[in-house]
Amino acid sequence: MRARPLHITEATQGRLRRLNLYTATPMIVLAAVFVVAVDVRDWWHVLVLAPGAIATLVAFERWTANDIGRVAWPCTIVAGVVWPLGVLVVGSPNAYWGVACVASLALTRLPRRQYEATAALVVFVAAVGSLRLLIEGSDALVRYVLIPTSVTVLIMVLSFVGERFYAIIQELEMSREREAELAVIRERVRFAGDLHDIQGHTLHVVKLKAALACKLVHTDPARAEAELQEIHGLVSDTIRQTKELAYAQRRLNLSAELENAKNLFEAAGIHVRVTREADADARVSESLGQVLRETTTNILRHAEATQVRIVLSAAGITIVNDGAATGSGDPELRGLSALRRRLADDGGTLTVSLEAGQFTTAAVFPQAGARAAPVAAAAGHVSGEGAL
């Protein structure tokens, strides 16, 4: 169990709280103005009731910034004092609104005894409202006791439901990140399997041949030399294959890579859409598969993507994902830089761009596109003749 939400969940909660700030603040301001205005019968009443409204606005703004802890007690005390003053001095049945709102933001964030504190709040509102009975008698029961107590209970219930909503969002985001991590781990396991296939058998054979050469070096030097030459050849071939694996130059199947990328993204909770405008030219499909594999890994490891769009054509591939970090300078990644050089050697270009949180990776082979155009034209010409 993780003791602290991950950066993705914190970012999501931050966006939700900012959305609350922008959408709910106007309504809270109107409610505060109404609560103060409806009970003011003299100018000094404003001085008594306004602090409760101000405390509510301050607490809500700090809550949206996830910093309610710093102002919880001061705002609660201020709003709590306004309620008895409103009951006994101003005669305001709505002065409870401030303490109910501030407490609803503060009490739900308590690490423990939330429900005990909520019960104490409800008792406080009811008890203070009951003091008005000493002045007006039973006529004040509904306005100063029943309505304030009921509304306070409703506000607290809605607040606990809202906090539970945030907790569910946090759990979903944590689950999504775990899926992304698992997808990356699966990719690493696949790489490890490929590396084992390349080196495991070769190293075992090298070990046996080296032992044989040691035995033959004095009795049969020619045979020992031959064994050493074979060892040299095996090691050289293994080094070559390992380099190819490290730089994703082993023979790749583009269709298989597309399916693998789609499965990885879906496992990570990312919506993916694949558009195949045309089958890639056989001469460039392997390079496009390398670009897709590297980009898939980068998205899973470095982005907070929720959507990925892959467009495949005869001459190139384009991958667009959201959730890219902004303000981080040039959107250049080491793996893509290495791929760019290799594609350039093969006559292709690799470009990356970052705009409005959308990261675009595009690999294009102009020569392949030029070859595909006459084929498409010929196909259209044949189709036209058939129509005639």
Question: What's the pLDDT tens digit per position in 199-217?
Answer: 776 787 788 788 888 888 8
Examine the pLDDT at 378 and tell me if it is beyond 50.
Answer: no
Question: What does the pLDDT look like over 285-294, one tens digit per residue?
Answer: 888 888 888 8
pLDDT range class, residue 247, cuts 50, 70, 90: low
- pLDDT for 166 equals 74
pLDDT band at 180 (very low <50, low <70, confident <90, very high): confident
- pLDDT tens-digit readout, 302-326: 778 889 999 998 889 999 999 876 6
Q: What is the mean pLDDT of residues 357-381?
A: 64
Res. 329 pLDDT band, cuts 50 70 90: very low
Q: Can you give the pLDDT at residue 325?
A: 66
Cβ within 8 Å of residue 57, ≥6 positions away: 25, 28, 29, 32
What is d(CA 90, CA 131) in angstroms, rounded to the nearest whole number? 13
- Amino acid 356: pLDDT: 79
Percent of the chain with pLDDT over 90: 8
pLDDT of residue 170: 74
Both tokens of 307, joined, read: 């959507």
SS (H, E, C) the chain: CCCCCCHHHHHHHHHHHHHHHHHHHHHHHHHHHHHHHHHCCCHHHHHHHHHHHHHHHHHHHHHHCCCHHHCHHHHHHHHHHHHHHHHHHHCCCCCHHHHHHHHHHHHHHCCCCHHHHHHHHHHHHHHHHHCCHHHHHHHHHHHHHHHHHHHHHHHHHHHHHHHHHHHHHHHHHHHHHHHHHHHHHHHHHHHHHHHHHHHHHHHHHHHHHHHHHHHHHHHCHHHHHHHHHHHHHHHHHHHHHHHHHHCCCCCCCHHHHHHHHHHHHHHCCCEEEEEECCCCCCCCHHHHHHHHHHHHHHHHHHCCCCEEEEEECCCEEEEEECCCCCCCCCCCCHHHHHHHHHHHHCCCEEEEEEECCEEEEEEECHHHHHHHHHHHHHHHHHHHHHHC
Report the alpha-carbon distance of residue 70 to residue 76 in Å, rounded: 11
Q: What is the pLDDT of residue 377?
A: 41
Query: Does the predicted model carry a pTM greater than 0.75?
Result: no
| pLDDT confidence of residue 108 | 77
What pLDDT score does 379 carry?
A: 40
The pLDDT confidence band at residue 334, using thresholds 50, 70 and 90, is: low
Sequence ranges of the domains in the chain: 7-176, 181-246, 254-373
**pLDDT over threshold 50, residue 59:** yes
pLDDT number for residue 267 = 67
Q: Do the bridges between strand 358-364 and strand 307-312 make them parallel or antiparallel, or are there none, so unpaired?
A: unpaired
Structurally, at CATH architecture level, domain 254-373 sits in: 2-Layer Sandwich (3.30)
User: Who wins on pLDDT, 24 or 185?
Assistant: 185
pLDDT exceeds cutoff 60 at 68: yes
Residue 4's pLDDT band (boundaries 50, 70, 90)? very low
Sheet holding 271-276, edge to edge: 271-276, 307-312, 316-321, 358-364, 349-355
Which pLDDT belongs to residue 35? 78
Buried b (16+ CB within 10 A) or exposed e, 89-111: ebbbbbbbbbbbbbbbbbbbeee
Q: What is the mean pLDDT of residues 377-388?
A: 36
Average pLDDT over residues 41-63: 86
Please indicate whether residue 252 or residue 254 has the higher confidence score (pLDDT): 254
Is the pLDDT at 375 greater than 50? The verdict is no
- The architecture of the domain spanning 181-246 is Up-down Bundle (1.20)
Mean pLDDT of the chain: 78
pLDDT (average), residues 94-105: 87
The pLDDT value given to residue 201: 64
Query: 239: how many CB neighbours lie within 10 A of its CB?
Result: 13
Higher pLDDT, 20 or 184: 184
Residue-level pLDDT at 369: 54
- Terminal CA-to-CA distance of the chain, rounded, Å? 70
